[in-house]
């Protein structure tokens, strides 16, 4: 009897529901927001791969091509637990470019540092299971830096305070790109995850910007999920006073019944801002680290 062969290919549109169910059942400590996941996987630069044996899905990945910094992000990985030691390496490796091209120079992956932790639903966070770290290292990924997921529970009711400068009527995506280019290194956010977050929020129209004299000084994206606000992207010009930042964030938090704030993509250079936000809104700041890994092609 011949040994079953594993096939790796791009996900078909009619397999999306099955693939999301598989990812839900084979990823530890997180769920899949099917509505948002479907939108993410339908982005022009998003690609999903599936691996199957005799028509049974055994694993797969999704990637996002970052046209801004000429990179790629490994957005999700799911492999049937019983088979991981044997096939995870092959499943991940075959979904990545074989060599450097003009459009793609490297691949980023964000890996959880905690084995047992409840994470935000995919794709509200692109944090991979901790078990993927060893496999990624074998493929050629190495640690670049630490990123952080911050959260706090609101301990007081937030009043609408207004803002010294209002939100732009239409979010200035190009201005947000320029702001990120200017400050990403200082904030510790030089990664394709940031650009994927910007693209995704712009596509869904959840991006908001604040401009002064034609220049974006603050960009933020957020989602209201239950009684939580997930601020998926927060980039601020370091010269903006904390008080002004708090005005804008208070406007967001006062819009609806909110109990918990999550900020899942925060760089080392944003620590003081996180402490100020939590202090300003009466919450106790919680933090956990994640490892940003990169493979140069």
Structure confidence by residue, pLDDT tens digits, 44-67: 999 999 998 888 889 999 999 999
Confidence of residue 1 (pLDDT cuts 50, 70, 90): very low
Same fold, 6-139 and 153-294: yes
**Structural tokens at position 151:** 């959260």
Q: Which residues contact 95 (CB under 8 A, 6 or more apart)?
A: 8, 47, 49, 60, 61, 63, 74
Evaluate whether 219 touches 252 at the Cβ level (below 8 Å). Answer: no
CATH number at 6-139: 3.40.630.30
Domain boundaries along the sequence of the chain: 6-139, 153-294
pLDDT at residue 162, rounded to an integer = 52
User: Burial letters for 1-25: b for 16+ Cβ neighbours within 10 Å, e otherwise?
Assistant: eeeeebebeebeeebbeebbebbbe
Structure confidence by residue, pLDDT tens digits, 150-202: 999 887 665 555 544 588 999 999 999 999 999 999 999 999 999 999 999 99
Please report the beta strands in 1-81, taking only residues with DSSP state E, as ranges in sequence order.
6-10, 46-53, 56-66, 71-79
Question: Which CATH superfamily is 153-294 part of?
Answer: Gcn5-related N-acetyltransferase (GNAT) (3.40.630.30)
* Count of other CB atoms within 10 angstroms of residue 259: 11
Place of tokens 């990123």: 147
């Amino acid at each position: 009897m011949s040994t079953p062969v594993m096939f790796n290919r791009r996900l078909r549109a009619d397999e999306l529901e099955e693939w999301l169910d598989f990812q839900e059942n084979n990823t530890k400590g997180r769920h899949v927001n099917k509505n948002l996941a479907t939108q993410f996987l339908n982005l022009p630069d998003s690609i999903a791969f599936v691996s199957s044996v005799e028509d049974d899905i055994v694993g797969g990945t999704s990637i996002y091509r970052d046209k801004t910094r000429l990179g790629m992000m490994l957005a999700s990985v799911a492999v049937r637990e019983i088979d991981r030691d044997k096939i995870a390496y092959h499943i991940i490796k075959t979904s990545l470019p074989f060599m450097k091209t003009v459009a793609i120079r490297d691949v980023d992956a964000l890996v959880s540092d905690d084995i047992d932790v409840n994470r935000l639903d995919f794709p509200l966070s692109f944090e991979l299971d901790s078990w993927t770290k060893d496999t990624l290292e074998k493929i050629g990924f190495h640690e670049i830096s630490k990123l952080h997921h911050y959260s706090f529970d609101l301990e007081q009711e937030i009043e609408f305070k207004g803002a010294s400068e209002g939100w732009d009527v239409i979010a200035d995506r190009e201005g947000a790109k320029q702001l990120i280019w200017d400050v990403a290194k200082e904030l510790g956010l030089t990664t394709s995850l940031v650009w994927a977050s910007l693209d995704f929020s712009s596509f869904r129209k959840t991006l908001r910007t604040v401009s002064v004299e034609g220049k974006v000084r603050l960009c933020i994206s957020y989602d209201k999920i239950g009684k939580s606000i997930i601020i998926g992207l927060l980039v601020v010009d370091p010269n903006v006073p904390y008080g002004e930042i708090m005005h804008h964030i208070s406007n967001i938090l006062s819009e609806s019944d909110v109990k918990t704030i999550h900020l899942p993509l925060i760089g080392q250079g944003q620590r003081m801002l996180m402490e100020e936000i939590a202090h300003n809104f009466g919450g106790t700041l919680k933090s956990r680290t994640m490892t940003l890994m990169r493979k140069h092609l």
